[in-house]
Amino acid sequence: MAGGGNIGKGNWADPTGTIQKSGAGKWLDPLGLTKTQKQGESAADVAARLEMERQANIKATQERVNKVFNDPTRERDISDFVSAVRTRALEDLNRQNTDASRELRFSLARGGLTGGSVNVDQNRRMADDYNRGLLNVESRAQGAGAQLEAADQDARARLIQLATSGLDATTAATQAAAGLRSNFESAKSQAYGEQLGDQFATIGGFVKQRREEAARRQANRDANFNLYGGGA
């Protein structure tokens, strides 16, 4: 057969280099004929060509990974997540504020302290505690968003590294999308499962002290005993 001497050579299997350029070599060239030495190529030329192809595949895979992670919708998702964490924490803070205000009001009334300097001082502390609580709410929301972003970047770096080990672009893109979903669910589970914590501990301590004092006074009255040592 004319030209039979070229059977098995790259210039016969893929004379224009189309298979190699298209990336379809595994399907169109299952025997790896395009990886064999072409006419006029030295072993060093073959090695250089294959390395260029490998680097091109790595670049293509990494570009697919970055495209998934750089999608603008992810930034909006994180922003919405931060807002949701902030809203939930603020609801918790406002609930605590309502409860603490009610307890303080009753405590002051029981102790006959309504309208006095103690009343003014404790209400000022209430306001200070609430403002600190607002800072904690914002810190928690921003922290949750930062942790989610960090998890995304860790996932990106892992896939970028795997690309150098032969991970193909399609698989990398699929794993990138799955990683984003997993990170988001994990972040929600952690952020929504944590309570804000007691933001009005100082007021709670004051109320507890007043309650204990009232209980002691009641016990003294019940025993017909007063602070001057008198009795029934």
Give CA–CA dist 232/229, Å, rounded: 10
Per-position DSSP letters for 10-45, written without gaps between them: HHHHSTTSHHHHHT-HHHH-TT-GGGSPPTT--HHH
What pLDDT does 76 receive? 96
pLDDT reported for residue 199? 85
Per-residue pLDDT in tens (0 to 9) along the chain, 232 residues: 444 444 344 443 444 554 444 444 443 444 454 566 666 778 888 888 888 999 999 999 999 999 999 999 999 999 999 999 999 999 999 999 999 888 888 888 877 777 788 888 888 998 999 999 999 999 999 999 999 999 999 999 999 999 999 999 999 999 999 999 999 999 999 999 888 888 888 787 777 777 766 666 666 666 655 555 554 4
8 A C-beta contact, residue 53 and residue 32: no
- Structure pTM? 0.69
Q: Are 34 and 121 in contact (CB under 8 A)?
A: no
As a whole number of angstroms, the distance between CA 171 and CA 180 comes to 14
Q: Are 192 and 88 in contact (CB under 8 A)?
A: yes
Q: Give the pLDDT of residue 194.
A: 86
